[in-house]
Amino acid sequence: MPSLKEVQHYLTGLWLLFLQDAKGFGYLDLSDRGMVRSFWAIAWAAPSILISWMWWRSAFLGARPDGATAGSLFYFRLALVEAANWIVPLILAGMLCLMLRLGGKFPAIVVASNWLAVPVSYLYAGLIVAMMLVPSLAGAVTLLWLVAMLVVVGALFRILRTICGEQLLTIAAFTMVLLVPAMIFSEVLERYLDVFPN
C-alpha cells in the first residue's frame, strides 16, 4: 500500500496536471505496476466511503417502515456498488482509448482518475458530515454539493486536457465517460440490489 508521502506525491502530480504543467507526469507512476497500485486509492478513500455509507444507510432506513434493518448484507451490496463505480468508468475509458487509438494514454487516465477520487471522496464526505451534524444546513449543503460537482468536472477536464492534448471533443468524451455512466449505473444497481432509499 502506498505511504502517505507517496500519496502526497501523486496528488502534487495531479495538481500540476490541473495547472496544465506536464511536470506533473513525473510525480505519477504511469508504469503497469503504478497503474495497478493506483487502485490502493480505494483503501485511502475508505474512511470517507464509510461515512457516505453510514449516511446512505440512515436515508435508507428513514424511507422504510419502522423496524426495518440494514445490516452486513446492506453494506456488502453497497460495496458492490462502490466497486462498480470504480471499475466500470475505467473499462469504458479503455474502450474509448481503443476506439480513438489512444491506448498509450490509458495508464495516465487510470492513475489520474483513481488518485483524484481520494480528495473528491473526502470533499463529499465533509459535506455529508456537515449535513448530518447540522440538518438545518441541508439546503446550503445541497448547493455546495452542486458547486463541488462542477469543480470536480472542471478539474477532471483540465487534467485530461494535459494528458490527451488540445482535442476538446476527445477530452469532453473522456470526461463524460468517467463521470456520467457511473452516476446512471450506480442508481440502477442500487435499485436492483434494493439499497436505494425510496
pLDDT digits (tens, 9 = 90+) for 73-122: 889 999 999 999 999 999 999 999 999 999 999 999 999 999 999 999 99
Q: Model pTM?
A: 0.91
Number of domains in the chain: 1
Is 197 among the domain residues? no
Is 11 among the domain residues? yes
154 neighbors 172 (Cβ within 8 angstroms)? no
Is 87 among the domain residues? yes
Q: What is the mean pLDDT of the chain?
A: 90
**Percent of the chain scored above 70 by pLDDT?**
99
Q: Which amino acid is at 50?
A: L
Mean pLDDT across 15-21 = 94
The parent domain of residue 89 ranges over 4-192
Is 198 among the domain residues? no
Is 57 among the domain residues? yes
